[in-house]
Structure 1
Amino acid sequence: MGLLWPWMAEVHVAGDRVCTGILVAPGWVLAATHCVLRPGSTTVPYIEVYLGRAGAGPLPQGQQVSRLVISIRLPRHLGLRPPLALLELSSRIEPSPSALSICLHPGGIPLGASCWVLGWKDPQDRVPIAAAVSILTSRLCHCLYQGILTPGTLCVLYAEGQEDRCEVASAPLLLCQTQGGSWVFVGIALQGSRELFATTGPEEAWISHIVREAHFLAPSGSLYSPPEGSNLCPLDMAGASGSSSTVLFLLLLTPLIQD
């Protein structure tokens, strides 16, 4: 039997940290730049990628897959520290029940989908844990995180009691299951955040150019971008991301999922 999350990769960096990654094509893994590269680093560290692992113990012989990373590609048009990094593997990973590529979301909020943050509770044990989330509308996200959002950033709200299920150092993943049952990768956590995710949509052209086999779903819904103008948020609500009571009040006024 295959894994529940056959796209999830363990990215072991220089023997001192482990990041989450997602298999986007047989020879490529997507990961968070801040996790795989140290600030100011200009060289590719020694990185091993594993798929088909359940916790610290490997799967039965023949199901675990490992590859070395031979290059790291960054979208340089976003500056020196873009949020997303493509890791080129030393050889292809052929599809199997425990190692499959995932489709990528082209941008916007996945309408009618069930969404989850996927990561580890403890980076030492590395047992995958999923926390149910709702993706906030662009207006509410802008109100809560005014002044710090970059284009393509999504905000999520965790289901009650699930806020601390995943640790943040390894950069958890945001995935959604469509109404048709297909799984799609939406984004990866920004450094130090559980609620903000850099999405693949704005970088579709760059990803498709580097990874010819990457597959994006057909666009649906409205593109996600912070609204312009300073009069969209009441003064007493703007920048209230640290107040859970304010968040709950806002949710009574604003739909969680964009129509």
Structure 2
Amino acid sequence: MKKFRGVFLKNEKEIGLMREANRIVSRILDELGENVKPGVPTILFEEICRTRCAEYNVRPAFLGYQGFPFALCCSVNEEIVHGFPSDKRILQEGDIVSFDMGVVFNGFYGDSARTFGVGAVDPETKKLMDVTRESLHKGIEQALPGNNLYDISAAIQSYVEGFGFGIVRRFVGHGIGSHLHEKPEIPNFVPKGMTGVPLKAGMVLAIEPMVTVGSYEVEILDDNWTAVTKDRKMSAHFEHTIAVTSDGPTILSASE
């Protein structure tokens, strides 16, 4: 593993381990999505995650991380990220639920997130999810050697704001490898007065736009973890872990 401007560059073996970690995350997210329906308590998804981690012999990446008490971040409607699964929170028709899941496989991390509709969702909410998902791919397309990190940010911001949605500023993407959060930070907007780092083959990045129907301003609930939109309007979240290669970006957490 080499370093470039404080960023760890992964070799082929390390990227292979991360590909496997992310394959496991993707499979778990697939299963979570299959179980999203009205009437389901969100604690069910936590139980699925812990069961599958045990079966795959991997460690849940988030459980205990800086004191986080669950394996899964499960965020409903106005909850942006870091929501708690609960036996009291029952999914309702028209809700949306975001799952952010990570595992550690042979010392390397996988990390990915998806938002699912619960039954039939209204057109604006469906558009929110579609735009957020597509903005992630617009950002990934810019993850090319020789581009600047903020080319990713600009692509996401331009796409999202073109539809009139807001982009959360408080939480950003990140490098990932043998640590869950590594340099560089990857904002989903272009910070004023800042210079992004050049992208180089070997970088592995977790890109994760969090998009809102209304204001991008955030509040943290009394549990000290759950982030919600200040105006309590809907928010969606999609994330992929990708490798920057000489042939272009490779999505490590793509669903099979």
TM-score (norm 1): 0.27
User: Which one has a larger percent helix, Structure 1 or Structure 2?
Assistant: 2
TM-score (norm 2): 0.27
